[in-house]
Structure 1
Amino acid sequence: MKTLYGMLLCVLITNVSFSQETTETKKDTLKTVTILDEVIVTGNKKTDPVMTSVKNNYVEKIVQPKNVADLFNSINGFSVIKRGNYAIDPSFRASQYEQLNIQYDGGTKAMHACPNRMDPITTHIIPEDIARIEIIKGPYTVRYGATFSGVINMVTQKPDYEDYGIHGKVSAGYESNGNSIVNLAQLQYIKETFDIVAIAGYRDFGNYKDGNEVEIPSSFRSTDYGIKIGYNLSEDQRIQAHWRQSFGRDVLHAALPMDTEYDNSSIISLDYKLNNIGRIVKSFTAKTYYSYVDHLMSNSNRPSFMMMEASSAVDATTIGGKLELNWKPFSKLNMFTGLDAIHISRDGSRTRLVKVMNGNVLPTPMTFNDKVWQNSYITDLGLFTEAKYNLSSSTIFTAGIRYDQVVSDIQDPEDDFAAMYDLKKRTEHNISGTVSIKKSVSDNFIIEAAYGRGVRSANMIERFINHFNAGQDPYEYIGNPNLKAEVNNQFEIGFNGNKNFKNGINAFKYGASFYYSLFENYIVGIIDPAISRKFNPMAQPTNVKVFQNLDEAYKTGFEAMFQVDFLKDYYYKTEVSYVYAKNKDLAESLPLTPPLTTRLTIGFDKNNYWANLQYNVVSKQDDISRSFGEIETDGYQTLDFRLGLTPIKNITLGLAVINIFDEAYNNHLNFSFTNQENFDRTPITEPGRNFSVFLHYKF
């Protein structure tokens, strides 16, 4: 069995690919070109998962240079977890980190190396290279890896297959708050059988000021480039390789104990698709990918440097892939069957030069070396099948089941960690699944209902971290290699529709989703009064937190939207989202639960220019997780203005004023200032008024 498993994993890693769901055909005057898509949501109700949404038009509508995670701020139901201006994670319906299945281009992943998530997956790609973001709102598909609370697929720019030859674009942006600049250049060469796309970007962000004119340490620089090469083997076959690197430098993290000296990442992926195979077997897809993150952090610019010099060099390797067959035994049944794998390994250490101990200056500083990841790994091998059955021309039933074998091991444990647990290689067996139904009541109204059982085995921090700060609070955290897998039993019903009018009002669009999740074995860090902190033992708090499973936790909530289009080019839109979460074991909310959020937008969209005014209303959050170190946050309101125009063909100019009234506020999910001079341990504040300009030229 062990030999068979190793052979299967080896085949996966060296030969496979993540699924590309559809093949699209476009024509020029000479030849038909087969395009390998990298999307999950294709606009086809018979193949798309239920409970999906797509946010796109970033190229056309972008006017404010952003980090990738900031793109989620405009998507209903999303918030961001902020530790500075660089280390930003998306949060959806109070789920975050590995609870969300975040990927690029239909499957590529790059896991962070830093235990404080200074380098989440959103830092390893150029924001302006994101063409669209696709969301599956829960564990309602089994085809894209183990999924606990939803899938996020960030699709990068593709070549313009409508026109052969050399084409490209250049863009530049500036933000007044921080004197920040961004630059981007892309060049593509398209021929009948092959295409090449090259992209490069540079970003230099300074410290921003909040609404009280307080400067927040948040500067960073990053340089990125990528090359995508595709070759059409035939009209029905395509192979594609994608290589990208990102280099972060001198990154300040206002809410983390150290800063990033450098963060280097390399990602390569290889995709293959064969279409129109036969009468029953329709297509075959394959993907493999590899990513490596090399990260160095230190406290050289922090107050603690006078007492202790600390630097930590860590790395993370991610290898994965997928094989999938699409087959139709008969006309009403569409099936997807396959296997996938992901292997995550991390290592690295922290070096401390202690100058002061127990309040006394040491005559000779002492050097210590702490194992951060203890040379650990997690490997997940998954098997799945998903079937879509047409109950009628307007009703589709979907059912899927998935099995994951999760193997984890720690190969170089610290002595104190080894003394706590009986450490040995561990194998888990997880079963997840989903059933759903989608009904087109009419051409203008669709209703969906779904149940999903999402299963997530503990991540590496929850398993193997040893006396490190890994949360929002000042506690040291200790992992638990014996944690049970989290289970999310999620139920959801949703609908969307539109109605066309005349005489001033063009259309009325609306939609809503209501969900309930019952959690089993929910993983949280809980104070252990029997264990004292290991580093700086005189500091408060003196105890530590150990990751444990809880039995009773749940969340419920909704998102709703309606939009009125009027006077041909004008619109008004309202979006509302709310989450209520409860940890019944500790009689408090689950951590990182956002408050009620409302967005009101009015604007117009004409051929050569567009503009909108967005009013953001965020309520007070007093339902908090005190065990996580949260404090109550006040509500706030901000107003943003964006304008875009095309004064000359192929030139787009964007202007924006963000936080027009210079509001001083902090988001509830923001972490608190840590190890910062002149800052108390309070949540970091957001930027004040910010003017930005963005210029885009396409040729």
Structure 2
Amino acid sequence: MNQLFDRFNRRIGVMLSLLILSFTMQAQTPLLKLVDEDTRQSVENANYAYGSKQGISSIDGEITFVFQKDVPLIISHIQYGKLSFTPEEVSQAMKKQVLELSAKSHSLQPVTLISIHPQAGKREKMAFRVQHQLAHDAGQILEQFSSISSIRKSGAYGFDPVLRGFKYDQINLVIDGSQGATAGCPNRMDPASSQIPLNMITQAEVMKGPHSLRYGNAFGGTINFKSAPARFSEKATIQGRLGTSYATNGEISRSEAVIGLTSKATDLKLFGSLSTGKEYTDGDNMEIPAEFYRTNVGGKMGLKISETQTMSLLLSNNYAKDVDFPALPMDLRKDDTWLVNLGHKALFYNGALSSWNTTVYATKVDHLMDNHDKMMNPRMVDANTAAQTNNAGGRTELRFDFEKDWLYAGTGMRVENAEGTRERNILMGLMAGKTILDNVWQDALIRKNSAFAEYHHQGDAYHLVFSGRLELNHAEARELDENFASNYSNLNSDILNPALSLGGTKTLTNNISFSLWMGMAQRSGSLAERYINLFPIGLDPYEMLGNPGLKAETNNQLDLIFDYKTEQTNATINLFASFLSNYISSEIRNDLQPRMATAAGVRQFINIDDARISGLEISWQQLLGTHFQQVAELAYTHGENTTTNEALPEIPPMEFRYRLLGSFVKKKLRTELHFRHAFEQNRIATSYGETKTPAFNRIDLKASYTLTQQLHFSVAAQNLFDEAYYEHLSRSVRSAENRPLYSPGRSFYFSLSYNFL
């Protein structure tokens, strides 16, 4: 009996000892919150190492560890780099329970951001962002940047972004720094921007000019859509979001949903969206065909392999059907796109190597368009074009962190392929009843192998960045049309394209900084520019003939940036100039006959000796008391073919934007007045059939209310005064009147979202 009693006492003693030790460890385990030094927002997904303890900061930026007097704390994050804090610094941070991180990134370059989905701690801003989650076209979202306009061939779908006058393949548009899609449609009904799964994107990052070369050939700039990073939790947690919206003009209905499950080692999210619309009326009460149907489904999975390694898999399907394109000779009948992206990330704490990120991806586009719904009198031909594009590649990047400097270095490969056939069923004339097949894409292929590096040096009052990229560009057509081939002696090419950038920011005072960026990038022709085979894809109704002998065009660009910042005001002036050589343009070939009787003739892609694009961007943000903020922006681009002394085509006009933002009821109620004035565009390329565009004004009113922490409601009056206007970059409707594609008139917008992510 005594032995049993002794054993019981010993067990009680052990349990009490463990309990005391547990309380002691808890007392010595601080809860430290990581915050951004400038924004004061929580920093989640930061990896940390403290002695033998390793982990990742929570959604609220919190980390825990047992304090030791002689152990430094190492923080590693993609935005902040690898940071080391001495035991003394850790001790001081513990007293405040907050550790401030200073960003190490390329944000000092000419770059702007839109936070599409607010992160934790910013939920009160959700009401301003719900329209992004519900949007079906990223090109329309990008128009919120003052430096971006869109080429529109439909009033509601397929907006093709133009950045400072650069367009199409002159802009590098990617998801998570790597993946992109190649438009299956020769007319770009489905530009890469239309394939972005917006309800899984957290941020749109626009890097202007050839200054950040990590993500691809940034000839005119890079647009990088960042997907939601993996987030892990100590306990299995179900998360999700539901949203719906409706716009009265065009009967545009949108809905989206995300459902997810997180745990210590996994983060699984499934997402889907549905958007539909019908014809709308413009400010003159004219009906514009704008019917569309679009779905997006997919999922993203994050897997924590260890405390320092994670993997991710993104799978997405975009499907569109029966989309009206009144400014094109055909409508979109079907567009089926699959995107797959597999990523691996490893972090390192010993030595200079900080992180290693690798991504492989594939994109497949299956596109069909036809003219069956087009009103033609007389109707001479029924035509349809079936096209497929494939895009595959990979990218791997190392980051090294030194005492004040850091370096990105890596390599990548990308393969683009396009094939497609137009079928023409002749209905009238001597050839009535015959079917003609046109080899549109010629099974063309471009392969890009590249290596890149970006070095950052941080001084006491300055920041320097050296960036370089070298790309080997190989192009060929594997199913050549004989008539096409007869125009050229060399149909394949291998071109080495270098790119270099040097720039930095100098802090003059506590409020004033000055930046100078100099960049040079060289770009080879795209699939369309090299191999399109007599198809009308340009601004005018000429059939375009690709040219495999095109020289690579070169952009030498200079950006000057002046920045003034106080607690109440932030003002920025950005002056830029691009000097272009071997600029890819086109000329009319009177000796060639078009395939379609409706075509005005044939244009062939060529190089012109010199061109220039220059301009300025001015922004001013100011806090007005505790409830209001005003934002004013001015953007102007001047493009000129200096070889012929004619304006470059499709250059947007000067624009002024003003927003007055309000915040009330403890930030639950937010309001916005948005005024936009587009100046007349009278600098036009008459050789391309461009016409002058009149000036216009547009006013929007928005309001949103956070009903609960999860439930958000918003309402807006878009184009409040029912202005009848059209954008300079909008194509004209193909009809007897050849009327420009007018934008929607007044519309009322409503949205509701429930978020428990």
Task: Tell me if both proteins adopt one fold, taking TM over 0.5 as the criterion.
Answer: yes
Greater alpha carbon shift after TM alignment, 163-172 vs 438-447: 438-447
Distance 1:452 1:83, change over 3 A: same
Residue in structure 2 matched with residue 355 of structure 1 by the alignment: 427
Match of 2:445 in 1: 377
The change in CA–CA distance for 1:632 and 1:246 in structure 2 (over 3 A counts) is same
Matched-pair contact (CA < 8 Å) for 2:57–2:63: no
Structure 1 counterpart of 2:573: 512
* Post-superposition offset of 1:447: 2.2
Q: Which residue of 2 aligns with 1:10?
A: none
Counterpart residue number, 1:642: 702
Residue 266 of structure 2 corresponds to 194
Task: Describe the SS at the equivalent of 1:617.
Answer: strand
Q: State the secondary structure of the residue aligned to 2:529.
A: helix
Q: Secondary structure at the match of 2:428?
A: strand
Match for 1:445 among 512, 526, 535? 512
Once residues 477 and 57 of structure 1 are traced to their aligned partners in structure 2, the CA distance between those partners, rounded to angstroms, is: 37
Q: Does 1:572 align with 2:627?
A: no
Partner of 2:397: 324
Structure 2, unaligned stretches of length 5 or more? 1-44, 48-55, 66-74, 82-100, 119-125
Letter in 1 for 2:643: D
Q: Which residue of 2 aligns with 1:145?
A: 216
SS in 1 for 2:190: coil
Alignment-derived partner of residue 435 in structure 2 = 367
Aligned equivalent of 2:146:
76
Q: Distance in 1 between matches of 2:362 and 2:456?
A: 31
* Counterpart in the other structure of 2:583: 522
Q: 1:428 to 1:38 in 2, by over 3 A?
A: farther
Distance 1:412 1:433 in 2: 36
What is the distance in 2 between the residues matched to 1:669 and 1:645?
A: 35
What secondary structure, in the 3-state scheme, does the structure 2 residue paired with 1:184 have?
A: strand
Cα distance in structure 2, aligned partners of 1:630 and 1:175: 32
What's 1:154 paired with? 225
The superposition leaves residues 26-66 of structure 1 with CA deviations (integer Å, 9 ceiling, x where unpaired) of 1378989x9986999x9824554611111115561136554
Q: Distance between the aligned counterparts of 1:262 and 1:653, measured in 2?
A: 33
Amino acid corresponding to residue 103 of structure 2 in structure 1? N
- CA deviations over 1:433-488 (Å, ceiling 9, x no partner): 00001223345433211001121110011101111101121111111000011111
Q: Which 10-residue stretch deviates more, 22-31 or 216-225?
A: 22-31
Is 2:751 aligned against 1:680?
Answer: no
* 1:619–1:634 CA contact under 8 A, matched in 2: yes
CA deviation string 1:511-547 (max 9, x = no partner): 12100100011001111222222322xx462x31111
Matched, 1:204 2:292: no
How far apart are the structure 1 equivalents of 2:624 and 2:416? 51
Among 451, 454, 463, the residue aligned to 2:530: 463
Report the equivalent of 2:606. Answer: 548
Whether 1:616 and 2:676 are equivalent positions in the alignment is: yes
Q: Give the stretch that moved more between structures: 520-529 or 49-58.
A: 49-58
Aligned-residue offset at 1:683: 2.3
* Matched residue SS, 2:193: helix
Deviations 1:298-343 (A, max 9, x none): 1100134831111111000000111112124x52332221111110
Return the letter of the residue paired with 1:437: G
- State the 1:112 CA deviation: 0.8
Specify the code of the residue in structure 2 equivalent to 1:365.
Answer: G
CA separation of 1:588 and 1:39: change in aligned 2, threshold 3 A: farther
Taking the aligned partners of 1:36 and 1:623, their CA distance within structure 2 comes to: 47
Q: Is residue 306 from structure 1 mapped to residue 373 from structure 2 by the alignment?
A: no
Compared with structure 1, are the counterparts of its residues 367 and 275 closer, same or farther at alpha carbon in structure 2 (3 Å cutoff)? same
Q: Deviations over 1:595-615 (max 9, x none)?
A: 110001112124111011111
Q: One-letter code of the match for 2:743?
A: E
In the alignment, the residues of structure 1 paired with residue 419 and residue 79 of structure 2 have an alpha-carbon distance, to the nearest angstrom, of 31
Deviation at 1:157, TM superposition (A): 3.4
1:442–1:194 Cα change, 3 Å = farther
Query: What does the per-residue CA deviation read over 1:381-414, in whole Å, with 9 as the maximum and x for residues that have no partner?
Result: 0012221123x22212111222110000011111
Aligned to 2:331: 259
1:31·1:192 contact (CA, 8 Å) conserved in 2?
no
Structure 1 counterpart of 2:631, which letter?
K
CA apart distance, 1:654: 0.9
Q: Which amino acid aligns with 2:374?
A: R
Q: What runs of 5+ residues in structure 1 fail to find an aligned partner? A: 1-21, 501-506
Aligned residue identity for 1:322? R
Cα drift, residue 23 of structure 1 = 5.2
What corresponds to 1:12 in structure 2? none
Q: 2:472 aligns with which of 387, 400, 405?
A: 405
Partners of 2:212 and 2:297 in 1: how far apart? 32
Match of 1:51 in 2: 110
Q: Please provide the CA RMSD for this pair.
A: 2.3
* Cα distance in 1 between the residues matched to 2:367 and 2:116: 33
Give secondary structure in 2 for the equivalent of 1:582: strand
Distance 1:87 1:43, change over 3 A: farther
**After superposition, where does 1:101-250 map in structure 2 within 5 Å?**
101-158=172-229, 161=232, 164=235, 165-250=237-322
Q: Which has the higher contact order (CA 8 A, sep 6+)?
A: 1
**Counterpart contact for 1:49–1:140, Cα < 8 Å:** no
Asked if structure 1 preserves the Cα contact closer than 8 Å seen for 2:446 and 2:474, the reply is: yes
CA separation of 1:244 and 1:46: change in aligned 2, threshold 3 A: closer
State whether structure 2 residue 487 is matched by structure 1 residue 487.
no
Aligned with residue 588 of structure 1, among 622, 637, 646: 646
Q: TM-score, normalised by structure 2?
A: 0.84
User: What's the offset of the Cα at 1:285?
Assistant: 1.2
Of residues 256-265 and 152-161 in structure 1, the stretch that sits farther from structure 2 once superposed is 152-161
Q: Secondary structure at the match of 1:356?
A: coil
Alpha-carbon distance in 1 for matches of 2:577, 2:352: 38
Cα distance per residue 1:214-248 (max 9 Å; x no partner): 11111100111121001111221111111000110
Matched residues in 1 for 2:106 and 2:347: separation? 16
How has the CA–CA distance of structure 1 residues 415 and 513 changed in structure 2, closer, same or farther, with 3 Å as cutoff?
same
For each residue in 1:556-607, what CA deviation from the matched residue of structure 2 results, as whole angstroms up to 9, or x when unmatched? Answer: 1011011221121201221100011110222211111111100011121241
Distance across 1 between alignment mates of 2:76 and 2:254: 31
Distance in 2 of aligned mates of 1:96 and 1:277: 42
8 Å contact 2:130–2:243 — kept in the other structure? Answer: no
- Following the alignment from structure 1 to structure 2, what is the Cα–Cα distance between the partners of residues 553 and 163? 58
Tell me the amino acid that sits aligned with residue 190 of structure 1: T
Q: Could you tell me how far apart the structure 2 residues matched to 1:44 and 1:220 are?
A: 42
From the two aligned structures, give the one with the greater strand fraction: 1
Asked if the contact 1:273/1:283 (under 8 Å) is kept, the reply is yes
**Deviation of residue 509 (structure 1)?**
1.7
- The whole-number CA distance in structure 1 between the counterparts of 2:693 and 2:178 is 36
Question: Relative to 1, partners in 2 of residues 1:243 and 1:57: Cα closer, same or farther, differing over 3 Å?
Answer: closer
**C-alpha distance in 2, partners of 1:74/1:134?**
12
Counterpart secondary structure, 2:276: strand
| Counterpart code for 2:187 | N
Deviation at 1:270, TM superposition (A): 0.8
Q: Is the 8 A contact 2:492 2:548 kept in 1?
A: no
8 A Cα contact 1:159 1:197, kept in partner: no
2:22 corresponding residue in structure 1 = none
Contact 1:663 1:688 in 2 (8 A): yes
Q: How far, CA to CA, are the matches of 1:234 and 1:442 in structure 2?
A: 45
Q: Which amino acid aligns with 1:122?
A: S
Cα pair distance change 1:662/1:188, threshold 3 Å = same
CA 1:686–1:46 in 2, change beyond 3 Å: closer, same or farther? closer
Whether contact under 8 Å (2:234, 2:264) holds in the other structure is no
Whole-Å separation in 1 of the counterparts to 2:659 and 2:300 = 37
The one-letter code of the counterpart of 2:452 is F
Aligned partner letter, 2:150 = V
